[in-house]
Structure 1
């Protein structure tokens, strides 16, 4: 029998939301009533051993997961979602619950390895273009193109994870955990260029909207403007954009800044390099060749340096991803989505295999500056 005396209702809520289920959906899958599920989630009633086993099987979470300590997750209030208005409540809650699992993995990493301390400038109230210049100046980037934005964010203490949701309505989101640790979640099923712009967009939220609202058309526009200026600095655009006058030129030039053709055309127009007529003509031709849905001459996808190093060190110590899942009391299939296309994962061993104990001293992860 299972000890349910330390049953944690919050973990049941997170597990249900991660699967995108309503209380009625879970009730139907377990032959329980919606009222009973509500009593469990509100902490007004402990589930029986049999009920908990049915719930765990239906949701695909190990039984010990429901008896762990308090589980934290991003909330609707502190998370900045792109395409927020087009998401359903279920999609939003599933993404936030994925963030909760990422928090658990992040805590596991922090308990074993030393990661860079967050160093994110506070540019609240600043014009987005000025804020982008300020961040570049503080980080010593000058006007140079950023080779790998994910590596740069990790170097500055941002925890970057994947958000492999099977929907285009959830692009990306970011949040400050307890006001001190920044997290960015990227939909890595999008193109490499789009995901990179999403990362810059979410950085915009982190530096511009840390103390205020991070929702609405106005703040989304500010984050977009920041991302455009951060990835394609004004002086750099003026220096290299003068020779861009056609779609062929745009496709060639976009590789310098590692952005999408559409994003570069827009930036060239906003900075006055392209006239209204030339800009419209380029956009029409880009649309004609399908550049809005499939990037011409795509870039290589950016990956996480931190997650690759951590998983590599863990494997060297004999702890596979399955072993990490065991320590966290989650299914390995719930770790894969937050690592998808961010780090290669090799699943080996059995879930029941005992995890390797943590090293006595935390290794320092040295990140290469982007």
Structure 2
């Protein structure tokens, strides 16, 4: 281990240890116990660059955290201290789970940046948002959000009709989508950006297509509406509540454009909403919300529909959820397979250069399980090398 340390270009980075620990959902005290250290202050010193872990501790960190040793010697942090990470999450989501996602979406960006040096990805078709003179948060009027959604459709060459596969559209427009299925789904998604390149990580690839579609549009709304929001403002409860409302409104306006959706809503029964769901690929609940937003139904009608949805048990699982086209993120997966299949890089070398765990790369790029296992044949026996 000492000889390995001498060969590494950079010094041990405590910030990378903190990232690795948080990516596994461990507190300092929990990791201290796992390592068998006498007190958590020792680990805290490692994370704050006040001490360097000896070889035996470093070996155990690699083993426990399942992080390659060269990760701890990389100088660049995966989390930009200035850019907030937006979360679409449930009320009982923990701070720990948000930290896990914050690191993991940073990994998505690192994977993209690495692949982008080898393969030419589509340029981002998102507008570059000019910096405001004032970064003080001010609410966006809903009429302005409606216009923003319609304008983007025009810029992207879309009609006001349904979008069958939003993930495919996003990837064509240069938005990087990752579908991480390594958690319990308490976070629907999170997003961040670099210049005008938007990164979105879906928390559970097993969610229904209509839910994933709305979540993607919601995160796009954050980029367009809240690009200038500081981390300090983002953490204020009143501001957070407002920006979630705005992102939801944008998602509704983008997926269900007022001109077309209003014309098609000729009945207000759940049976008719089911017909519309098959056409628009948007959840019945989202369409009921949209109907109320546009004053296409009364308060009484909306209340009746919500009660009927609850009575039918459609709050969590709706009709047609298993029939709509699946939303699949393919761009990162296809890029890695292209590099490997054309012998540009070996699987082993690609993982070494990314400085990430093989399973993490697989989860974040939707590669099949055990993709990075190298198999050779020796005297009729298949040998597997990890």
TM-score, length of structure 2 as denominator length: 0.83
User: Tell me, what secondary structure is at the counterpart of 2:52?
Assistant: coil
1:81-115 per-residue CA deviation (whole Å, 9 max, x = no partner) reads: 12376432211111111112212211221111111
CA contact under 8 A between 1:174 and 1:184: conserved in structure 2? yes
Q: Following the alignment from structure 1 to structure 2, what is the Cα–Cα distance between the partners of residues 26 and 251? A: 50
> Relative to 1, partners in 2 of residues 1:322 and 1:345: Cα closer, same or farther, differing over 3 Å?
farther
Correspondence 1:1-370 to 2 at 5 A: 1=1, 2-3=4-5, 6-32=11-37, 33-73=39-79, 78-83=84-89, 86-121=92-127, 122=129, 125=140, 127-177=144-194, 179-187=195-203, 188-212=205-229, 213=233, 216-242=240-266, 244-298=267-321, 299-318=324-343, 324-340=350-366, 344=368, 347-350=371-374
In 2: Cα distance, 1:103 partner to 1:218 partner: 27
- Displacement of 1:247 after TM fit? 1.2
Scaled by the length of structure 1, the TM-score of the pair is 0.86
Aligned residue-pair number? 350
The runs of 5 or more residues in structure 2 that have no matched partner are 133-139, 376-383
Distance of 2:363 and 2:251 partners within structure 1:
25
1:53 Cα deviation from its structure 2 partner: 0.4
Provide the rounded CA distance (Å) in 1 between the counterparts of 2:112 and 2:84.
18
Query: Whole-Å Cα distance in 2 between the matches of residues 338 and 128 of structure 1?
Result: 31
Secondary structure at the residue paired with 1:70? coil
List gaps (5 residues or longer) in structure 1: 356-370
Q: Please say if residues 67 and 357 of structure 2, whose CA atoms lie closer than 8 Å, have aligned partners that are also in contact.
A: yes
**Residue range with higher mean Cα deviation, 321-330 or 49-58:** 321-330
Contact 2:112 2:332 in 1 (8 A): no
Contact 2:270 2:305 (8 Å CA) reproduced: yes
Deviations 1:298-331 (A, max 9, x none): 1222112412421331341245766533332222
Relative to structure 1, the CA distance from residue 138 to residue 285 in structure 2 (aligned partners, 3 Å threshold; closer, same or farther) is: same
Deviation at 1:337, TM superposition (A): 2.6
Partners in 2 of 1:325 and 1:191 — Cα distance?
Answer: 31
The superposition leaves residues 151-194 of structure 1 with CA deviations (integer Å, 9 ceiling, x where unpaired) of 222222211112335234312111122x3422111122322211
Query: RMSD of the TM alignment (CA)?
Result: 2.6
Alignment check: 8 A CA contact 1:322 1:332 kept = no
- Aligned-residue offset at 1:347: 1.4
TM-superposed deviation, 1:45:
0.9
